Amino acid sequence: MGAFGANTDHYGLADTNIKLIASSKAPNSQIAQAMDSQGDVTAETVFDTFYSFECQYRKVAGASLTLDTIAQVGQIISSIGITGIAVATNNTERPTFTVTGETYFGDTSTSEKYASGIAILATKTAQDFSAFTCDTVTRVVSTSATMSSQVDRAQDSQGQTVATAIYQGRLEVSGELQSATAVAAATADTGYTLNGPIGNTEEHTGYGNSTINVFKNVSGA
């Protein structure tokens, strides 16, 4: 039986105010097959092997945390290229954030970084990340913010990745809204664009919910 708990902090971000709550290291590979005239496999080769990494953290104490000061998409930590950062907040739990990445190949000095500009409170508060503004009767129930990217992989003659490039940073923010007196409503803040109209769900046993989704594209630095 293995050790109990989440013990491997692949990015080294945990401290007295940020706690590691989950961790994973998953292998990736591709398979090439040669088949005969009957469709049966006669030869098989596994190639382009690398790892994907994910760590989930919870902000439990301290002042507001500016996420970019500890991790950015495109940053290289211990030979891992960060490809995504997701933040989740709600009105009943302290915030969590998840950092995903993969084995980085090639020159680490050429990787562009993408800043999210997101600040995280240590309290159990649903936070709008200054991405949208609610009307006077609407409250935020939960939110998620995801900074994502694309990955270019250059392979050698044997199909193994030898160079990696992280590009095309994009920040998307979603919010669940609720109002006790009207249909919940909000608008995108400056710099953000609505990703389609606001949705609304009503049922006969509870107050209605609305959802807002906004995004902005982020240039690398």
Residue 2 has pLDDT above 70, yes or no: no
Residue 63 has pLDDT above 90, yes or no: no
Residue 3 has pLDDT above 90, yes or no: no
Question: Could you tell me the residue ranges of all domains in the chain?
Answer: 18-28+50-218
Query: Among 113, 45, 34, 44, which residue's Cα sits nearest to residue 76?
Result: 113
**How far apart (Å, rounded) are the C-alpha atoms in residues 196 and 136?**
22
Residue 67's identity, in one-letter code, is L
Q: What three-state secondary structure class fits 114?
A: strand
**How far apart (Å, rounded) are the C-alpha atoms in residues 125 and 91?**
5
Q: How far is CA 114 from the centre of its chain?
A: 12
Beta strands 119-120 and 186-188, pairing class: unpaired
Residue 107 has pLDDT above 90, yes or no: no
pLDDT, one tens digit per residue, over 190-219 is: 999 999 999 999 889 989 899 999 999 999
Residue 168: left (phi > 0), alpha (psi -120 to 50), or beta? left
Q: Average pLDDT in the 185-192 region?
A: 95
